[in-house]
Structure 1
């Protein structure tokens, strides 16, 4: 059994990604009232834009006051600090943890009291936590922390449901910076995972809506990675 998202209010934090846009469009298309918030608010037709900086608690407090009562909260924010451990910048590492771990804790602090009965929180982890590779130590650690944070919040905030979603490699636009190397990378990923393709934003958005609306799902991590973590 799942609950219809029609008439529900959904706040999505981390609004600059293709996945966030897809989720906002899909939820709005199903009759939800959607607020898409980020440091650089994105304009999506039919969706309300808001600004928030997860490294600034006053910004989160202001967002909570602006949004008011709601049903669902999703955090997709990320700020990467990739590179060899010996070359990592301390401030960049702190920003990565602010976006992925500390920020979501503060979102729960200020917004959980505003969630209506049946409400849910969804945090975004990632396959790097289960398939670490050189240069991605911070990404692996923050994504792993998200999974444990979802479990802890599910217990502390019950009956509010809290889950994590761990995408694999998704053609969301974030890989476009690779230029001509992108297609070869996607082919390599597709060849190496059981699904034999990379993910699409709609794959992740549909799983996110499931996590939000299934009333018996809490304290778990959904792996939507084409089997990438087991390949």
Structure 2
């Protein structure tokens, strides 16, 4: 029988039913894990994973601490927790909405902090907690101020939790421009033009994929001497 590096381990993946979260959940399942995919809309998640054996669904809202505590109680124990959830607050300084900035922090920083509070005691000592940062923290640009400071806070959170939760390992993943639905709002031509510009400038000369990020998450989960680190999976974009 073929076994994988996460054989029979329980992995909780928080996020939407598509894009990066879906790729992470499937990759963990294919590595032998029993995966629980969780998000605010369990019905949507159930539809997204309907054809994926070995992946069950749960409900959690990272802006609601009570639901975080509740999922911990329901699951009992886990080996790895991955939080991919985000709520972007894009725009230049004059256009930023206070509530949007708060939601960005609440989803990507405070939410994972509460996950650590309530699920940390339920993660096995050989397990891990992986959260998400992003390239905007490493490459400052007008129009991404709120995204940058949210991601920067997530980086610091990962390092802080690596001490607080030790020996549980805590790391962050910092994706660059990844081809997911996140860019669909630009329109077909706008997205194509943006991708062409990024592709021409970054050293990897391509746009990232959800599988690129999923592979990095698997590395973070299975590398037993890696903690307090942000893995930059961005094609070298900050260098340009």
TM-score (norm 2): 0.92
| Structure 2 partner of 1:166 | 174
Deviation sequence 1:166-217 (CA, Å, 0-9, x none): 0000002211222221111111101110000010011110010000110000
Provide the rounded CA distance (Å) in 2 between the counterparts of 1:102 and 1:155: 17
- SS in structure 2 at match of 1:159: coil
RMSD (CA atoms): 1.2
| Structure 1 partner of 2:39 | 38
**Runs of at least 4 residues of structure 1 off by over 6 A?**
none
Provide the rounded CA distance (Å) in 2 between the counterparts of 1:114 and 1:155: 17
Confirm whether residue 128 of structure 1 aligns to residue 136 of structure 2. Answer: yes
Provide the rounded CA distance (Å) in 2 between the counterparts of 1:144 and 1:13: 20
Provide the rounded CA distance (Å) in 2 between the counterparts of 1:171 and 1:40: 23
Q: Aligned residues, how many?
A: 229
Provide the rounded CA distance (Å) in 2 between the counterparts of 1:76 and 1:206: 14
Deviation sequence 1:70-123 (CA, Å, 0-9, x none): 100011110111112222222111111000100000000000100113010011
Any conservation in 2 of the 1:11–1:34 contact (CA below 8 Å)? yes
Higher helix share: 2
In the alignment, structure 1 segments of 5+ residues that lack a partner are none
| Structure 1 partner of 2:83 | 75
In the alignment, structure 2 segments of 5+ residues that lack a partner are none
TM-score (norm 1): 0.96
Residue 17 of structure 1 and its aligned partner are, at CA, apart by: 4.2
Q: 1:57 aligns with which of 65, 68, 93?
A: 65
Any conservation in 2 of the 1:17–1:174 contact (CA below 8 Å)? no
Q: More displaced, 170-179 or 149-158? A: 170-179
Q: 1:118 aligns with which of 112, 118, 126?
A: 126
